[in-house]
A and B are shown apart, each in its own frame.
Chain A
Amino acid sequence: MKTKLPLLAITGGMIFFACSSDKNTEQQTANVPTTEESTQGGGSASIQDSESKPTVLKIAINSPSHKTLVAAVQAADLVDVLATAGPFTVFAPTDEAFKKLPAGTVEGLLKPEKRGDLQNILQYHVAAPMYSEAMLKQYDGKTIGMANGGQVKIAVKDGKITVNGANIVAAVEGANGIVYVVDAVLLPPSK
């Protein structure tokens, strides 16, 4: 069976990505700016660079199938982190993957009082080194340490890689790491 790959359709023009303020509990999506403002000095996510490869952050933002993930990254205040040097390995669950969670889970996690839990879950999807596909394939049965301090287990079967059982359905190399699109949200073991 051929893996379905998420497609990305980008309309031209500027994509503006606004962080949710602490008070705002609404899920945010990409906005078009009404005024052009200087973002110099605003943090790594606002560095203007159309020459380098996109960061793992931009890859997620530019993907139409990662709206929930991007909103969660904003709410968890991890936007700047994913634009820093890293390098990162990001397991990026699709919107479909988030829908598989029990109803209300995502909405609950986006509440400000749940920011710690949300950060914990999102950081469970990010590892500090960049593991190439070839590296992951060598490490069937081994674990890799994630940014939240937890471990995920890599399994390789028939050349296909899974992370804690989630399937990797696509890989995109960015400037500061690699994004593996996964079909399930990785839930850290409860502490």
Chain B
Amino acid sequence: MNTTIKRNAIKITASVLAAGAIMSCQNKSSKNESIIGGDVASKVYVAPGKYDEFYLFTSGGFSGQVGIYGLPSGRLFKVIPVFSQNPENGYGYNEETKSLLQTSKGFIPWGDAHHPVLSKTDGDADGRWLFINENNTPRIARIDLKTFTTREIIEIPNSAGNHPSPYCTENTEYLVAGTRFSVPVKNKDVPIASYKETFNGAISLIKVDKETGKLSLAVQILCPPFDYDKNRAGKGVSKDWTFFTCYNSEEANTMLEINASQKDKDFILAVNWKKAEEYLAAGKATELNTPYYHNVYDEKTQTATSEIINKEMILDPKDCPGMLYLMPCPKSPHGVDVSPTGEYIAAGGKLAAMIPVYGYEKMMKAIAGKKFDGEVSGIPILKYEEVIAGEVKNPGLGPLHTEFDDKGYAYTSMFLSSEITKWKLGTWEVVDHIPTYYSIGHLCIPGGDSKHPFGKYVIALNKITKDRYLPTGPELTQSAQLIDISGDKMKLLLDFPTIGEPHYAQSIKADILMKNSQKIYRLEDNHHPYATKNEKDTKVERKGNEVHIYMTCIRSHFAPDNIEGVKVGDIVYFHVTNLEQDWDVPHGFIIKGANTAELLIMPGETCTLKWEPKEVDVVPFYCTDFCSALHQEMQGYIRVSPKGSNTPLTWKLGDLK
């Protein structure tokens, strides 16, 4: 008996493939409508000089950054560097910002950014900060929305795969994080096969300071070794809770494709964070001492510093009754999203054929009535039928994430069938589908995760574009698609390419942010230790082999612009202060042969470039940002003399000394 399966037994001839097998599905009515919209152009057209109605913050995914776009135009305004170095403006290269990328594993120049989350007040975006998680080396960043810059990055210890993160509670009391990969937390040198006994999934509550936004790790809860995939905090009625999807409730540690989908149902983990606060205050926590970094950029000194923290407060679910509950959820759930009132919790079981929607009231009743169906590590499992409010049947294939509009509808992304499905809260009926091009992951409705969504657009965040744009070789852009949801039927308005992977996005009304957007850094508020606020104060100081150049720039010169007395083997620091107090007049600074990125210095800001001259030369430096009519004249020289030479240290700008 021949038992081997013959691979490629079906021969597909090259000529056929070359000719192309074309399959057309143009006669599907929904598709036609999505392609041929009547007056689509005018709906996305923002006239020259006019503003967009919304800001859209997209994750850059594997770029590690955040993109800022306008809606409805889809125009890209800015890329905010967060977890990756950015040679374009020196972020992560210059002396002021490189501490932001320090971790317990050393300096890391790259990160995997996933979920941008706007800070909230009373469940609505307040425009103060944008938080975003780094998946690979678990971290959370805080971006200030006055300057649109990264101001803080905190590492999350005892975690790995910081994916269900950094969703904030209703008033940004906490950012909530989990771990996609459970890991051994206490004794780390253990056999992988001891996974079930020695691994844990840590749920972290990160406190956000009300005034400054500063982050601090408040408490970690050591949960069973599942994979914690996504999270959303409750709001309104459910504001004291936060919800996680968990897959791999099988607790498998190898071949998860099969082993993590043996059970019919995995779980939603409901965490009462108020209870966690109480247990922490009541002294129920024990201490762990895994070191982690906390990097904060000080707006006064314009410099980031790192602190190594060595203490985590740990809660064990067994000691904390009433804090955690598990709700059965079909088949490897991914997304979990909470409706505007906080009543409904929709899960996306990526391998499920329906969307289970849980009721908060039902959950509370089931808890009160102890409607349990076993437990895992002391965490009660609530009975599915006691907590389920409804099931959206046959929504499409591969439901992932849900956002909500202001009319009682929910919109769920379908990865496998590459579409968005619109369904009604309460009746659970599917009312519309629209295809996406292609393979949608997250989706975003402005305010769609808040108490008051703007039900105007949904933005599809797609992983694959294939034939949607002019081809650019094997590597193609990923994309967003703007879809009108103001009517009964969804209508495709616009495709636009994005930086990196637009993993998730959040959108906010432009007027909330515009009025706070800072125009300059005021020189009088610049307390950088090497700031020079007047050309007369410019100087060069030698400390051993360190040379500190206190430099200024203004249209159209550097002061000083002639420097001598630097020697091979010196470490030279150019501390360049931009004296401009005029909006949108940055200056760039770079020197020939610098082994780092340029500085891009905003008005009133001081930035530092470190340079180690290796050979005798007279080396030019210049402004890289076209600043003025005499930008090309904005240049200077530094003389590098041999090691041990006695060239005196001098500096000048014309007759200034």
Contacts and interface: CB of A to CB of B under 8 A. Distances in A.
Interface of A: 1-3, 5-8, 10, 12-19, 21-22, 33, 37, 39-50, 54, 57-59, 61-63, 77, 79-81, 83-86, 116, 119, 123, 128-129, 131, 133, 135, 138-139, 142-145, 147-149, 151, 158-161, 168-173, 180-181
Contact of A170 (B6, B16, B332): B6
A4 B52 CA distance: 63
A19 B28 contact: yes
28 contacts: A5-B6, A8-B10, A10-B13, A10-B16, A12-B15, A14-B20, A15-B21, A17-B23, A19-B23, A19-B24, A21-B27, A39-B24, A41-B467, A41-B468, A43-B31, A46-B22, A61-B21, A63-B10, A128-B351, A128-B397, A135-B257, A139-B258, A142-B262, A145-B331, A159-B4, A168-B5, A169-B5, A171-B9
Interface string B350-375: 11111000000000000000000000
B649 interface: no
Given A80-B25, A145-B351, A128 B10 contact: no
Contacts of A61: 21, 23
Nearest to B256: A129
B629 to A, nearest CB: 46
A187 to B, nearest CB: 16
Given A12-B16, A44-B418, A81-B418, A18 B353 contact: no
A135 B9 contact: no
A42 B467 CA distance: 9
A118 to B, nearest CB: 12
B463 interface: yes
B282 interface: no
A171 B351 contact: no
A85 B464 contact: yes
Contacts of B418: 44, 80-81, 84
Contacts of B435: 43, 80
B258 A149 contact: no
A143 B331 CA distance: 13
A50 B414 CA distance: 27
Contacts of B21: 14-15, 17, 54, 58, 61-62
Interchain residue pairs A-B with the least CB separation, the first 6: A149-B353, A17-B23, A5-B9, A159-B3, A19-B25, A45-B23
B258 A18 contact: no
Interface in B12-43: 12-13, 15-29, 31, 35
B255 interface: yes
A96 to B, nearest CB: 15
A123 B353 contact: yes
A16 B23 contact: yes
B470 to A, nearest CB: 11
Nearest to A62: B12
Nearest to B397: A147
B458 to A, nearest CB: 19
Given A41-B467, A81-B397, A116-B394, 13 more contacts: A2-B2, A10-B12, A10-B15, A13-B19, A19-B26, A42-B24, A42-B31, A54-B21, A58-B21, A59-B12, A142-B258, A148-B353, A158-B3
B218 to A, nearest CB: 37
Contacts of B105: none
A143 B250 CA distance: 14
A43 to B, nearest CB: 5
Contact of B331 (A21, A86, A149, A168): A149
Given A41-B468, A81-B416, A81-B417, A149 B10 contact: no
A161 B15 CA distance: 33
A168 B17 CA distance: 25
Contacts of A170: 5-6, 9-10
A48 B9 contact: no
Nearest to B8: A172
Interface string B436-469: 0111000000000000000000000001101110
B261 interface: yes
Chain B CB within 10 A, most for which of A5, A40, A42: A42
A151 B15 CA distance: 38
Contacts of A49: 20, 466-467
B7 A171 contact: yes
B1 interface: yes
Interface string B314-339: 00000000000000001110000000
Given A59-B12, A86-B416, A133 B5 contact: yes
A115 B2 CA distance: 39
Contacts of A6: 9-10
Contacts of A45: 23-25
A182 to B, nearest CB: 11
A74 B329 CA distance: 31
A144 B261 contact: yes
Contacts of B23: 16-19, 45-46, 57, 61, 79, 83
B188 interface: no
A165 to B, nearest CB: 17
Contacts of B29: 22
Contact of B258 (A1, A63, A131): A131
Contact of B18 (A50, A116, A129): A50
A170 B31 CA distance: 35
B398 interface: yes
A174 to B, nearest CB: 9
A46 B353 CA distance: 25
